[in-house]
């Protein structure tokens, strides 16, 4: 009579190839794998794909993490024009200075940070290069001051709609914002 070890090496039902997941003709048979490796016969591909997408999502969330908190985002509708202005409040809750270097908007050909100043009774609007927000500081973008100019709008803005804005920061991260569109007379 053969011992258990001899039977395994002889290739019987409990033989070497069966325990390694191979059938007698030495082809991989996923449904016969022992020890719960893949005993259900299901493919690992969908599970691996889902795990990859989940990791990519987490990485993108981490990449967009910032100490910049954006509140009160809104845009003013300008009927009959292809320009609009967006306003918001930026608060740095971190311990390092945050710098906004640019703004993107999918419904505008160009989005820029501008500043309106009043000198000698004349209102002047000029591009503002970067917004530097020190730790624990708040910067308000509001009418007659700092604001985001949206040029070459791809569609008219209607009150109640929202405008997607992406604030690009100097550290390579970004903050996404939805600005609610308000009527022309909104303050």
The secondary structure of 8-47 as a DSSP string is: HHHT-TTSHHHHTTB-TT--B-GGG-STTSSTT---SHHH
Q: Global pTM?
A: 0.64
What ranges do the domains of the chain cover? Answer: 4-63, 68-182
Confidence check: pLDDT of 144 > 50? yes
SS3 53: helix
| Confidence tier at 129 by pLDDT (50, 70, 90) | confident
Cα atoms found within 13 Å of the Cα of residue 121, Cβ hemisphere only: 0
Q: How large is the C-alpha radius of gyration of the chain?
A: 30
When pLDDT is cut at 50, 70 and 90, the band that residue 18 belongs to is very low
- Measured in degrees and rounded to the nearest 5, phi and psi for residue 132 equal -100, 120
pLDDT at 118: 87
Question: Where does 68-182 sit in CATH, by number?
Answer: 2.60.40.1890
Average pLDDT over residues 122-130: 90
pLDDT tens digit sequence for 153-182:
999 899 999 999 999 999 999 999 999 999
Bridge pairing between strands 68-76 and 174-182: parallel
What pLDDT is attached to residue 60?
39
Query: Given this model, what pLDDT does residue 159 score?
Result: 93
Q: Is the pLDDT of residue 6 over 80?
A: no
**Tokens read off for 104:** 């993107």
- Is a pLDDT exceeding 80 seen at residue 131? yes
- Going by pLDDT thresholds of 50, 70 and 90, the confidence category of residue 11 is low
CA-wise closest residue to 148 among 123, 134, 168, 170 = 168
Q: Is the pLDDT of residue 39 over 50?
A: no
Q: What is the DSSP string of 114-131?
A: EEEEEETTEEEEEE---E
Residue 37 has pLDDT above 50, yes or no: no
145, 115 contact by CB (below 8 A): yes
Q: Minimal CA–CA distance to 139: which of 115, 159, 119? A: 115
On average, the pLDDT of the chain sits at 79
Each residue's pLDDT tens digit, 40-62: 555 666 665 555 444 444 433 44
pLDDT (0 to 100) of residue 1: 59
Per residue, what are the HEC states of 79-105? CCCCCEEEEEEEEECCCCCEEEEEEEE
Instruction: Identify the pLDDT of residue 7.
Output: 54
Cα–Cα distances in Å, from 87 out to 25, 113, 147? Answer: 71, 10, 5
Q: Say yes or no to pLDDT of 86 above 60.
A: yes
Dist. CA 142–CA 148, nearest whole Å: 9
């Amino acid at each position: 009579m053969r011992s258990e070890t001899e039977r395994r090496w002889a290739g019987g039902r409990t033989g070497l190839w069966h325990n390694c997941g191979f059938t007698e003709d030495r082809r991989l048979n996923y449904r016969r794998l022992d020890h719960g490796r893949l005993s259900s016969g299901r493919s690992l591909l969908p599970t691996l794909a889902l795990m990859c997408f989940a990791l990519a999502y987490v990485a993108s969330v981490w990449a967009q993490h910032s100490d910049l908190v954006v509140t009160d985002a809104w845009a003013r509708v300008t009927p009959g024009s292809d320009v609009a202005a967006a306003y918001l409040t930026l608060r740095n809750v971190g311990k390092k200075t945050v710098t906004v270097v640019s703004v993107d908007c999918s419904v505008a050909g160009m989005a820029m940070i501008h500043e309106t100043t009043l000198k000698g009774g004349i209102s002047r609007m000029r591009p503002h290069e970067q917004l530097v927000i020190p730790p624990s500081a708040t910067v308000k973008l509001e009418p007659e001051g700092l604001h985001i100019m949206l040029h070459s709008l791809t569609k008219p803005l209607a009150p109640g709609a929202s405008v997607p804005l992406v604030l690009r920061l100097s550290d390579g991260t970004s903050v996404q914002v939805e600005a609610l569109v308000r009527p022309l007379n909104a303050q």
